[in-house]
Structure 1
């Protein structure tokens, strides 16, 4: 679930301003600035660039009824400016299937600005995997350290627990669906799909439910269409993920737990997975090479 959203969105206005008649040295300055930000973690992104990206997202989202629901939820969860301005998000994500399938438990740090990630095993600090924004990598001594597809899993957790913020970028299509009732309350419903070429699984979709009064996320329905799992196309049956208690992480409301079920008539059916999200905090001032592929790591 590697979604490669552009990290240069805040610079689009700079590129457009250069125009055909701009002097060569100005164009070179803009190019240099773009190259500089592409190598930084979001903890070092200037606030002015955060402001530009947030303003661009707000304008785009407020242009449709579905987008207005997403924007209202972003605001209710602490604001896109906090999401991008706080630095990289670190947390432990413990995915516990109830059917005996492989659990997935790692400490991870995610650059929410440019969709890069680094995971470390909870039992062996030398076992790691990640995604640089361009390539996935794996660094292990024991071949059994991660008994699952680490390329797929590099960014999957942030797409399970990072809504609605992860829907700010290009290539995201939003559709407003009819309201539904969930746990006795009216919920606004938005379906998110992705343009072809957006990440490794563009056929994924998410159906997000928000409390109509508080605008907080209550549930997410989704499918997995990762081609390595479904080589002939298709996807798994839809899952219904309940959002647990939201906690304040440096001004951003994020879930400390999630529960997945098979979806039955738009509602949660058989309970199949528990997810525990803990030790959440934002980090600033990471080394510029923090998300780079380490020496002796294997490119996937």
Structure 2
């Protein structure tokens, strides 16, 4: 009888411990089910597939890469689920805890706008997968012609209140044979808040494979006149790229003690 009581007690203890885990698993299953039911234009689905698949991308948790620059290099780290992030250099650091942007810059070396810049390169780098985010609308756009080759495209706009510049527009153009992304056109409305028809262009033609995903090795901005794309202007390289299914420790993206929370700079600054 005593043995039976002990066995029942042990069973009860382990059953209680298992319940939270089952809740977590079911919660993740719900999220995956919701994700899988979201529909995208067929052309964009093909682009996702050509770059390794949206399912593979969504299974990753942490992305990091280095951007080498003349004076110093930047290490960018992003939590792909929460979109918390940080940028570290030898002279300063910046990041977002998910609610506010912070800047650690005792020597006052950073002269830019941390609110604008802290995750800017992530959105350029994580194309085309960031185009699966919530709050996005998909539309039609004319094909882009460059060097006598035609690149079909998709127009991207955002719902009101999404991100810091919901009036921005993006135009993704892809190779009709490989379906890989080839060009990104975008407008900038961050400081003015006014809709713009001045479309800047980035070429995506230098790729690397990271854990089964095709991601940029470099991206190149081009000069342009109206809708005509001209010669290459500047290139940003991405080095030491890593993906992980593991999140960074709690507090990694939190504001350091010596850092300060910052606001967006005014348009006249």
TM-score (structure 2 length as normaliser)? 0.79
The answer as to whether partners of 1:209 and 1:217 remain within 8 angstroms in 2 is: yes
Does residue 158 of structure 2 align to residue 177 of structure 1? Answer: no
The answer as to whether partners of 1:51 and 1:81 remain within 8 angstroms in 2 is: no
Further displaced range: 178-187 or 277-286 = 178-187
Task: Indicate which of 43, 53, 56 corresponds to 1:82.
Answer: 56
Distance 1:264 1:188, change over 3 A: same
Separation of aligned partners in 2, 1:104 and 1:215: 35
Task: Indicate which of 204, 228, 231 corresponds to 1:267.
Answer: 228
Does residue 36 of structure 2 align to residue 55 of structure 1? Answer: yes
Separation of aligned partners in 2, 1:224 and 1:289: 32
Task: Indicate which of 168, 172, 187 corresponds to 1:223.
Answer: 187
Larger radius of gyration: 2
Distance 1:162 1:286, change over 3 A: same
TM-score (structure 1 length as normaliser)? 0.72
* Residues 89-104 of structure 1 aligned to structure 2 (within 5 Å): 89-94=63-68
**1:195-221 deviation line (CA, Å, top 9, x unaligned):** 111111111111110111211000111
The size of the alignment, in residue pairs, is: 240
Name the residue aligned to 1:297.
259
Distance 1:158 1:53, change over 3 A: farther
Separation of aligned partners in 1, 2:112 and 2:197: 17
Distance 1:78 1:257, change over 3 A: same
Name the residue aligned to 1:154.
118
**Where does structure 1 lack aligned partners over 5 or more consecutive residues?**
1-28, 38-45, 62-66, 97-102
Name the residue aligned to 2:84.
116
Distance 1:69 1:223, change over 3 A: same
Aligned-CA RMSD value: 2.8
